[in-house]
Every structure is written in C-alpha cells, then in structure tokens.
Amino acid sequence: MSDKPLDTFDTFDAPTAPSQRKVDDFEEFNPYQAPQSEFAIVTPGVPIFRDRKLLVFAKDYPLPDRCVLCNAPAEGKRIKKTLMWHNPAWYLLILFNLILYVLVAMIISKRAKVAAGICPRHRKRRTRAFLIGWLVLLVSTVLLPLATTISDPTLSTVGVGVALVLMIGSVIFLLFRTNFLSPKRITKTHVIIGNAGAAFLNSLPVGNAPTD
C-alpha cells in the first residue's frame, strides 16, 4: 500500500490547446511543409496563408514555385498579372453609363502585381481555352455583319441571334476558363484570391484575412 497521503496529487503540465498552436515567424515559414491543422493560427509575420477557401499573401511576396491550382511543381513557369479590385458597389455605375464606370474603375481600383506558378498540365489547359475562346469570338464577329445582309428577315434574325449568343458566350468562357487569379479583395498590405486550388490551399497554414 502506498505511503503517499490521500490528499496529495501528482502534478503534470497541461497540454497546449490546439487552438493555441502558432506558425513560426517569417524567417522560419516553409511553403513546402505538410498541410497544417485547421486549428493553426498565423502570426502577423507569415507572408502567405489560407482563410477558408481564400488564398492570402502579402503584396510583392514571391509565391512558391508550385501550381496554385493543383500544387504540382511549376518548374519555374509563372503567369504575371497586375490584379485590380474595387468595391463591388461601383458596378452599379454600369447601369447608368459603361464608359463612366470604366473611367471610375481605373481611378479607384487597388492594384497588385502577382507572379503565380502554373504546372505544365494547367498551362496547356489555359492555352487551349484561350485558343477556343478567341476563335469563337472571331467567328461570331464575322458572322454578325454577314447575318444582317441576309435578305430573308427570319434567317437574318436567327443569324444575328446566333452571332450574339456566340459572342457573349465566348467572352464569358474566356473570363471563367482563362482568368487565372481572381482577386476577392486587395488591401494596403495583402492580396486575397478566391480561385486558388484546394490542393495548394491545403498546403498552407490557416489565418484570418485582413479587412482593411
């Protein structure tokens, strides 16, 4: 039988709660590390992280040499873009005057230069989408004036309608299939992207996107 008094207890160190686990500072951050726990908290010094389905990184931060769509090696291939973003409320100007909206958007939009990695597979897909989209747009542009010259009113109307559908469809296709990086928000210090791939996002630590 133990001689230890009944009113005494062994002491122990309480484990650190998962929600308190933090990623180290900027110098020790490794963009190639294994996916982090969903409870990880990012310190202010970390230049790139995810906020749910959003990719967040500091302005002018060089993104890893990995495809932002599938996380495969990018082999040094990057797509360089100057992203622009403004408050969505400004789109209401389109209802009044498209040219006015364009002018206002050019003035008020926040900008950020980005160079993101893309793997050979997604690079080929993007190139193919460009070719298809622009080819359909070219065909519709030629078809539209030709349709107006048809003597039969019914056929002419049908031709114009088909040309307009192809034209609008090709523009939408190009926007969705070739828009490599779509900014959800650009702040004074960070760029927030909404269409990065899940595999790439899962390789990053978790944090809270800035709101200012």
pLDDT at 191: 92
The answer to whether the beta carbons of residues 171 and 137 sit under 8 Å apart is yes
* Residue 103 in domain: yes
Q: For residues 68-91, give the mean pLDDT.
A: 89
Judged on CB neighbours under 10 Å (0-12, 13-18, 19+), 142 is: exposed
Q: Confidence band (pLDDT; 50, 70, 90) for 140?
A: very high
Say yes or no: 141 and 203 in one domain.
no
pLDDT at residue 80 tops 70:
yes
Number of domains the chain contains: 2
Say yes or no: 170 and 209 in one domain.
no
- pLDDT tens for 88-118 read 888 898 888 888 988 998 999 999 988 889 9
Taking all residues of the chain, what is their mean pLDDT, rounded to a whole number? 79
What pTM was computed for the model? 0.64
Say yes or no: 132 and 112 in one domain.
no
Say yes or no: 38 and 92 in one domain.
yes
Q: For residues 119-140, give the mean pLDDT.
A: 92
- The residue assigned the tokens 């207890």 is 9
Q: Map residue 166 onto helix, strand or coil.
A: helix
Say yes or no: 110 and 185 in one domain.
yes
pLDDT at 189: 87
Please give the single-letter amino acid code of residue 93: L
- pLDDT tens for 42-64 read 445 678 899 989 999 998 888 88
- The residue assigned the tokens 């070719």 is 131
Q: Map residue 29 onto helix, strand or coil.
A: coil
Q: Which domain holds residue 156?
A: 120-179
- The residue assigned the tokens 């760029």 is 191
CA 89 to chain centre: 20
Q: For residues 65-87, give the mean pLDDT.
A: 90
Say yes or no: 52 and 110 in one domain.
yes
